[in-house]
Chain A
Amino acid sequence: MASTLASRRTGRRLAADTGLLVAATAFALPLVWVILSSVDPQADLRVKAPDGLTLDNFDAVLKPDITFTPLLNSLILCGGGTLLTVVCAALAAYPLSRFRSRLNRPFLLTILFATSLPITAIMVPVYALFVQVDLIDTMQGTILFFAASQLPFAIWLMKNFMDGVPKELEEAAWTDGASPMQSLVRVVLPLMGPGVAVVTVFSFVMMWGNFFVPFMLLLTPDQMPASVSINEFFGNRGMVAYGQLAAFSVIYSTPVILLYVLVARRLGSGFALGGAVKG
């Protein structure tokens, strides 16, 4: 009985492995294509062994106007937006996590409601509003909107991580006469380092990949982040150089993949999302 169960289990593991490998291959095809094409002197649209290895594609795109300026713009937008998000979320999460108030529950419910609203739907009115208050085509306007759109989820996550820091640890600081602000910065935040890292990386990754927000709110080409400028490869340059487009995609995607790996390794593969994340 035990042996049949064991052999059945081995058989099942083989079946599961096969199934997963088929799925992994299917998912990998587009990824393999972009990597091979980026080093292929004659890249086209299908997966194939490269006609020789070359770094010419990277050479061709590693120029100020094609890569460096858009990536720098992305960094300013997403760095600024993330910083604002994390600071505001940490400040807001502290009283929500530490003090009882009648307003906590309605506030948190509103926040939770806002996390799941389709931000895409409000971009037309945001555009119209930004035109009226002269924030259209400005980096600071886009940063502020990025921060606001990411805030509900950041507050929600931050509050849950903060709840995990025992109150007793702060009480020593309070008896020494520390203000709530001091105890937040010196005691609570250092103790929830991994939580802060998750909120930071998640906000940054979401903004780095976001296309619609900068596409709507920025107009001047040299302010565009990489998510928008990548479309130039399709549009105005006539024949699409697929190898260069692939090389650019690899450069543009690498930072977020590295950031994800960094966080995922610290927190285990589950990413501790608890089913409360927007995809």
Chain B
Amino acid sequence: MSDPRRSLARALPVAPAVVLLLLFLAGPIAYCAYIAFTDLQLTGQAHSSFVGFANFRTAFGDEAFLNAVWLTLVFTVVSSLVGQNTLGLALAALMQRASKPVRTLTGGVVITAWVLPEVVAGFLLYAFFRKEGTLNAILDALHLPSQNWLYTLPILAVSFANVWRGTAFSMLVYSAALNEIPKEITEAAEVDGAGGPSRLWHITLPMIRRSIGTNLMLNTLQTLSVFGLIWVMTRGGPGNKSQTLPLFMYEQAFQNSMIGYGTAVALLLLLVGSVFSVMYMRLLRTEV
């Protein structure tokens, strides 16, 4: 048997990390689970009281909350599941065949969009989608109807912004995955006369399915917590037409001073995130 004093000494270096994680991550999560059940307010009332599930009942009867849930769903599906994921896979697949200079150039541009600070990305896309912006300039040049995107279709504009900013990650994941498919397999299929779509469906996609799963999970988790990008572009508006859950949570907690209610929304977001997180861990299970 190992000497307990020795194992304690060996485990000691983990202590600073554990202390930090307990105080600043586990602590707030526990506190979150607590104040979600109180009527705590920002305005410094003497003490808050326990209100049970009242905040959650309020939420599910609150049209603004249901609106935020719906918009979060649209935002996640359009920008993460469809946009980043499909575009990332398409770019990675094209890169397998393209010439080196084009591949390097495209990779560089797409990755730059990813590395930029969130607020800068928001500001660039704000300019792009504004009434006087580049998108409308292009549409005018093509004699297509232009419109005030941030006003008429704000959730679509911020979704595209998230695609612009996030596709690089999917592209990198899929490039790595496609590089691992042995050349002989695709070439054999090609010689056997399997066309492009059939090769994609029967060979490529099954071989990279683990990467697809990982990528979808991580994209979704990242998209669920987007705040700055939307904040800079629309502040959740006009009205609440682009107010996803993080922005709704912020508004309730700080603009309406209802920390308890805002935290209840945060807790729901955290629960959804946890479910995805557990699914992601199951995907990676063999690797731990």
Contacting residues of chain B (134-168) with chain A, CB-CB under 8 angstroms: 134, 136-137, 164, 166-168
B218 to chain A, nearest CB (A): 6
Q: Do B14 and A91 touch (CB < 8 A)?
A: yes
Contacts of A197 in B (CB 8 A): none
Known: A88-B17, A249-B124. A101 touches B118 (CB 8 A): no
Residue A178 CB within 8 A of the other chain: no
A184 to chain B, nearest CB (A): 8
Q: Do B249 and A121 touch (CB < 8 A)?
A: yes
Residue B225 CB within 8 A of the other chain: yes
For this complex, into which size category does the number of interface residues on chain B fall?
35 or more
Known: A118-B269, A122-B266. A16 touches B94 (CB 8 A): yes
Residue A114 CB within 8 A of the other chain: yes
Q: Do A46 and B218 touch (CB < 8 A)?
A: no
Q: Which of A54-62, A105-113, A168-176 is the interface stretch? A: A105-113
What total of chain A residues lie within 8 Å of the partner, measured CB to CB? 99
B206 to chain A, nearest CB (A): 17
- Complex Cα distance A108/B23, Å? 18
Q: Do A124 and B249 touch (CB < 8 A)?
A: yes
**In chain A, what residue has the closest Cβ to B252?**
A124
Known: A121-B269, A212-B228. A155 touches B17 (CB 8 A): yes
A135 to chain B, nearest CB (A): 9
Q: Do A210 and B173 touch (CB < 8 A)?
A: no
Residue A186 CB within 8 A of the other chain: no
Chain B binding surface, main DSSP class:
helix
Residue B13 CB within 8 A of the other chain: yes
**In chain A, what residue has the closest Cβ to B167?**
A27
Interface string of A85-101 (1 = CB under 8 A from B): 00111011011100101
Q: Do B110 and A24 touch (CB < 8 A)?
A: yes
Q: Which of B53-61, B62-70, B197-205, B209-217 is the interface stretch? A: B209-217
Residue A52 CB within 8 A of the other chain: no
Q: Do A209 and B266 touch (CB < 8 A)?
A: no
Contacting residues of chain A (105-142) with chain B, CB-CB under 8 angstroms: 105, 107-109, 112-114, 116-129
- Complex Cα distance A26/B155, Å? 20
- Complex Cα distance A125/B25, Å? 10
Having A16-B96, A24-B102, A279-B168, one finds 10 other A-B pairs with CB under 8 Å, namely A19-B94, A33-B127, A118-B246, A124-B259, A151-B17, A209-B119, A211-B228, A234-B232, A252-B120, A256-B115
27 contacts between A and B (CB under 8 A): A13-B98, A19-B94, A21-B105, A23-B94, A27-B167, A29-B128, A29-B134, A30-B127, A34-B120, A46-B134, A46-B136, A47-B134, A92-B14, A112-B288, A120-B224, A122-B270, A124-B262, A125-B31, A128-B259, A129-B31, A144-B24, A149-B25, A180-B13, A211-B117, A253-B117, A257-B116, A269-B107
